[in-house]
Amino acid sequence: MRLLIGLLLSFMVAAAIGLGSTWYALTQNLAFGPLALGAWTAYPRNGTVGVDPYAHAAIVRNGELPVGVGDGIAFTATTDDAGHLLDGRCDLRLRGTTPPARYFTVTLYSPAGRLVANSLDRYGFTSQELIRDPNGEFEIIASPRARSGNWLPTGGIDSYVLMMRFYDTSLGIATRAGREAPMPLLQLENCR
Amino acid sequence: MIRWLAWIAGGLVMGGIVHLAAILILPRTATRDAYARLSALAPVNGFAVLPIPTPDVSSVPFMDPAFATAVCRYDLASGPIKLTVPVSQAYTSVTFYTRYDVAYYAINDRAAGRRSIELDLMTTKQREDLPDDEEVTAADRLIVESPSATGLIVARAFSPEPSLLAAATATLAAAQCRPA
């Protein structure tokens, strides 16, 4: 009887720990080898055969097709530089320059990876569309209400994800953080 | 007391094994992965142009709306595949995924040059079986080895502004992947 209860206890602990930690790993994005530049994070290895098992499981579970390393690199931001979650009811100032690449795109998604509906059908910017300052810097304002300049509508959703993808770039697995890859700063303000 | 702690410790070890096994097995059991989602849209050994993502429709999550996308679901069981993707005005890339969505190779128009990206896709076995004549090893014939017999080829054509998206889509409509 004791043996039975012991075994049962063991199996319960095993199931709870095993499945709980698996669920946690898949939802918290525990991939190895992140390239973090400010609020932006990329996983260059996800676009290679060297993708780690955690990242691979998460990619398959979400049904994504990662950007291949010979194509480009994808950076994701879910918070601003101060660590506040990106909230569609606030204004987000995205300002600065980018690492060298032939083209880049900035896109706003819901956390599930859908585009966010808005009256302009504006879901992001390409590097060719941006209005820039004379010094080459640019500023995008993601906001629920219309703005002059580079306005990216948020649709007022609770939380969103920004992705910057760089195509035909030298950025990749060998990139170390810092000066060689200046990413735009993110600042959340005017929350309502 | 010690006995119960031993049972719990055993459970923890088993839990670790369950965790590792689940992570490793998951890619092979997922039914809503990108390959499954695109199977309904893409023919075998032929390209299908995917709809441009909108807030309501997105073939896979996190698609870049500035790109036209075409997908070929390949099957190398009956022999190698010959791939031809015309290059669009701005930027064109081709990425190869295994059956389990690992991006094992990607090439863009700069690396490929010319007016189209042309290459042969085959398994390691099929490459070994190729006759060793000079034509085959000629530099202009790019060969890519697929780690799996099936998988996805995804061609993407960039549209720097929305008005050029139709042209990028038209370019990809001429993409071909068929048995060599």
Q: What is the pLDDT along chain A (192 residues), one digit of tens a residue?
A: 888 998 999 999 999 999 898 888 888 877 778 888 889 999 999 999 989 999 999 999 999 999 999 899 999 999 999 999 999 999 999 999 999 899 999 999 999 999 999 989 999 999 999 999 998 899 999 999 989 889 999 999 999 999 999 999 988 777 776 666 789 999 999 887
Verify that B134 and B92 share a domain, yes or no.
Answer: yes
Best residue in A4, A12, A60, A109 for a mutation probing chain B (most B CBs within 10 Å): A60
Tell me whether residues A2 and B3 touch, CB distance under 8 A.
Answer: yes
Q: What is the ipTM of this complex?
A: 0.89
Tell me whether residues B62 and A163 touch, CB distance under 8 A.
Answer: yes
In angstroms, the first-to-last Cα distance of chain A is: 61
Verify that B60 and B129 share a domain, yes or no.
Answer: yes
Domain ranges of chain A: 1-30, 34-189
Chain A neighbors of B34, CB-CB under 8 A: 59-60, 63-65
Tell me whether residues B154 and A65 touch, CB distance under 8 A.
Answer: yes
Q: Which of B3, B11, B97 sits opposite A14 (nearest CB)?
A: B11
Verify that B98 and B79 share a domain, yes or no.
Answer: yes
Domain with residue B77: its CATH number is: 2.60.120
Residue A179: the pLDDT is: 62
Chain B neighbors of A45, CB-CB under 8 A: none
CATH of domain A34-189: 2.60.120.600
Encoded tokens for A33: 């080898």
Structural contact between residues A47 and A71, judged by C-beta atoms closer than 8 angstroms? yes
Tell me whether residues A113 and B97 touch, CB distance under 8 A.
Answer: no
Instruction: Read off the pLDDT band of B4 (50, 70, 90).
Output: confident
Domain that holds residue B18: 1-30
Residue B134: the pLDDT is: 56
Query: A180 vs B175, which has greater pLDDT?
Result: B175
Residue B136: the pLDDT is: 55
Verify that B16 and B46 share a domain, yes or no.
Answer: no
What is the average pLDDT score of chain B? 89
Amino acid residing at B108: N
Structural contact between residues B94 and B157, judged by C-beta atoms closer than 8 angstroms? no
As beta bridge partners, residue A42 has A35, A75
Residue B1: the pLDDT is: 80
Chain B neighbors of A53, CB-CB under 8 A: 23-24
Residue B110: the pLDDT is: 86
Verify that B153 and B64 share a domain, yes or no.
Answer: yes
Verify that B11 and B58 share a domain, yes or no.
Answer: no
Verify that B24 and B110 share a domain, yes or no.
Answer: no
Instruction: Read off the pLDDT band of B152 (50, 70, 90).
Output: very high
Q: Is the pLDDT of residue B138 over 90?
A: no
The pTM assigned to this predicted structure is 0.91
Verify that B119 and B149 share a domain, yes or no.
Answer: yes
Please list, in sequence order, all residues whose beta carbon lies within 8 angstroms of the beta carbon of residue B163, skipping any fewer than 6 positions away. Answer: none
Residue B113: the pLDDT is: 66
DSSP H/E element including A4? helix A2-27
Verify that B171 and B88 share a domain, yes or no.
Answer: yes
Verify that B124 and B94 share a domain, yes or no.
Answer: yes
Tell me how many residue pairs between chain A and chain B have CB atoms under 8 A apart.
199
State how many domains chain B has: 2
Q: Which of B14, B18, B30 sits opposite A61 (nearest CB)?
A: B30
Q: In this structure, which long-range contacts are made by residues B105-109, counting pairs with CB atoms below 8 Å and at least 24 apart in sequence?
A: B105/A68, B105/A70, B105/B144, B106/A47, B106/A67, B106/A68, B106/A69, B106/A70, B106/A71, B107/A70, B107/A71, B107/B142, B108/A70, B108/A71, B108/A167, B108/A168
Over residues B86-110, the pLDDT tens digits come to 998 889 999 999 999 999 999 998 8
Give the position of tokens 């609770």. Answer: A158
Tell me whether residues B23 and A65 touch, CB distance under 8 A.
Answer: no
Verify that B80 and B159 share a domain, yes or no.
Answer: yes
Verify that B58 and B23 share a domain, yes or no.
Answer: no
Tell me whether residues B55 and A10 touch, CB distance under 8 A.
Answer: no
Q: What is the DSSP letter of A143?
A: E
Tell me whether residues B103 and A69 touch, CB distance under 8 A.
Answer: yes
